[in-house]
Amino acid sequence: MIPKHISNKEAKEAGDNFVDLLVSVHDTEEPLIIEKEDQPMVVVVSHDAFQKYEAIRKAVEKRFWNTVETIQARNADEDPDEVLQFVTEIVDEVRQERYNKQLIS
């Protein structure tokens, strides 16, 4: 699915045919990207495509919160200060590794 791009100038001309553009998005299932000064501003998608996007977004959000709840349950008996210290040490290690890789590159 290759999105169609409409520039600012084309958008002005397309205004007269806006309904036709919407029908085209619906019929082809291809998104329409409207640009201003060569920068994407909005995307028009069909209702079906939007519903698919929303279903994926909701599934990802649910999985995220399930993961958070699992981590919280596993750490329910842990001292919060010790967990914070442990996580801070791990984050510092990862940051140091990334920094070292940048020095080598």
Domain layout of the chain by residue ranges: 4-48, 79-105
Whole-model pTM above 0.85?
Answer: no
> What is the tens place of the pLDDT at every residue in 56-105?
999 999 999 999 999 999 999 999 999 999 999 999 999 999 999 998 87
Among candidates 4, 79, 90, which has minimal Cα distance to 42?
Answer: 4
Residue with tokens 């590794």: 97
The matching CATH number, chosen from 3.30.1490, 3.40.1620, 2.40.160, 1.20.1270, for 4-48 is 3.40.1620
* Token digits of residue 105: 């590159």
pLDDT band for position 12 (cuts 50, 70, 90): low
* Alpha-carbon gap, residue 4 to 33, rounded angstroms: 6
